Chains A and B, each alone.
Chain A
Amino acid sequence: MATPGTRAPAPTYADVNRDVLRTLAPPGNLYFGWMCVVGLLLAAGFLAWTWQIYIGMGAAGKRAPQMWAMYITTFVFWIGIGHAGTLISAVLYLFRARWRTSIYRAAEAMTIFAVLTAGLFPLIHAGRMWFAYFLMPYANQRYLWPNFRSPLVWDVFAISTYLSISTVFFIVGLVPDIAALRDASTGWRRRIYAVLSLGWEGSDNQWRHYRRGYGLLAALATPLVLSVHSVVSWDFAMALVPGWHSTLFAPFFVDGAIFSGFAMVVVLVLPMRHFFRLHAYITDRHLDAMAKLILVTGMVLTYFYICEIFTAWYSGDVFERASLFWKVTKSYAWALWLMYFCNCVSPLILFFRRARTNVVVLYAVSILVLIGMWFERFNIIVPSLGHDFYPYTWGIYVPTLTDSMIIVGSFAWFFLLFLGFIRVMPSLSIVEVKEVLDPPLKEGGHGGHH
């Protein structure tokens, strides 16, 4: 069964080209209105960053022991968002899940923009960000190299590899589509697309190496995506802080990343489908599949939360127990219970088929999941740092206007990149959508063979 539409007859190859080109038509006022809002928020974020550089890190509410606070929370949040894109584009590709074809391009773009957003935070958080090149592995003037046993150095390698490979994977996927845009456009656009398409023609020799290479890239990206969030989790788990020092962290983080990433895919894809009228390609079946993944990863996450509490209690460690007790009952208890509600309770409604295909319900659950997953990272970082071994190192973190504006600015930066992308590049993969259609046959009509 290859028809992506439920009511209308299946689109033909030419329909796919036409419908994708339609998304690149000059946008209306609504689009520019959104761009203005996003641009203003981004400007506010940059203003706040400038202020922070001028005043110092105190402007961001950074006081010992709360030196990580919202920046690292948001950094981990954005890295996590990226993971669903790679899962859709690489893992589901290897599993030959055909429903991925009409959402993978948007999801992959989301990955790259999310990682680009996340990449800003080490710079913002470094304070003197003009020394950011210290992160690179090279020897200083006394021939001392970075300590490769430090999880922070692993992180640099993991994130930069992730960004490079996702970008390369994304561009390779785009090349045949850009060739289709080139052949359908004129003037200066045609010239730009001609350069970007590398002169792709779709000859048998090109496809042959392309297909093999694409499969290999997917096979490389799959272990990579699992490793990246594991490495991010070790930034915490390698430290001795109660609430962090756990072997549970790697799978816990990877699952949470996929969970939040799928929620973000829904948040991006539903408006895209509505405004671009892509209902023939992104059908209820796709929403259903994404909702099921949110449900499953949400329940796995619930299991991890239970394990986390259980091991803190079962360890018998007085500091672990005190840290847990403080988290669930004291200053930041509201954040913890909000997280439990958003991540454990709210997705349960997706057990109902009608909720899974109901646009409003699915959207609302996805927003709640994003809120919950941001608070998950907050709950890992802030209360754990604020209540470790000695009372004289305890401390509360209070957000300031500066760091809040920078966080909002990061969301604006992400949406600016995404909104820009969907107007200049095919947000629906021309080639992959065609691949799941029945190929045109002269005799026998629609064979439905695959």
Chain B
Amino acid sequence: MAATTETVLGVFAHVDTTVKALEELRARGYHDLTVYTPVPVHEIEDVLERDRPVSRVRLFTLIGGLTGTCSGFLLTIWSAMQWGLVTGGKPVASIPPFVIIAFELTILFGGLATVLGVVTLGRLPRLRPTPTYDPRFTNDRFGVAVHCPPGRGGSVRDILRTAGAEEVRP
């Protein structure tokens, strides 16, 4: 089966050359890009995040946190009602102390859901490295992988080289 897309990787040593390549690629209509960076870089994010919605991790946090709040109140109120024991002349379902349990569970469930969000949305864990990945990307090199229709590889290579890639493959 013939490949439906072609992938070209450019390796950069500098942030400004990477940004130049990204701008040029986007101007030419290549939007299917994977950019590898050793650290999150604002300049690169600025280019990439321009037309993307905010990461959905926050939705995980919200749902997790609310689940925690509800389960905290449910656990405490429900279990207090199981044995309606009046202590200190206070209501059986005494909300102020139960807020503490609900608060702690909000943080606990919210935090765990956040991690779940980071892992699932970031497609982790990844059992095999993606073909374009290079170990230098966790050190001091930046990578731009362009996924383009077959036959367009030549022009992509030109763009990457002109922008200042120190290595282009294949």
Q: What is the interface of chain A, defined by CB distance below 8 A to chain B?
A: 12-14, 17, 137, 139, 143-149, 153-154, 157-158, 160-161, 164-165, 168-169, 172, 176, 179-180, 182-184, 198-214, 216-217, 220-221, 223-224, 227, 231, 430-431, 434-435, 439-444, 450
Contact = CB atoms under 8 A, between A and B. Distances in A.
Contacts of A17: 138-140
A442 B14 contact: yes
Contacts, number: 206
Given A164-B111, A198-B126, A207 B37 contact: yes
Contacts of A149: 87, 90, 94, 97
Given A161-B108, A183-B139, A441-B14, A148 B117 contact: no
Interface of chain B, main secondary structure? helix
Interface residues of B, number: 72
A82 to B, nearest CB: 15
A238 B30 CA distance: 64
Interface of B: 13-17, 33-45, 48-49, 52, 54-58, 61, 65, 75-76, 79-80, 82-83, 87, 90, 94, 97-98, 100-101, 103-105, 107-108, 110-112, 114-115, 117-119, 121-130, 133, 135-140, 164
A221 B111 contact: yes
Contacts of A213: 55, 57, 61, 114-115, 117-118
Contacts of B104: 154, 157-158, 161, 224, 227, 231
B55 A435 contact: no
B101 A148 contact: yes
A148 B76 contact: yes
Task: Among A144, A209, A444, find the residue whose CB has the most chain B CB atoms closer than 10 A.
Answer: A209
Task: Tell me what chain A mostly uses at the interface: helix, strand, loop, or mixed.
Answer: helix
B73 to A, nearest CB: 10
A231 B139 contact: no
B30 to A, nearest CB: 14
B38 A13 contact: yes
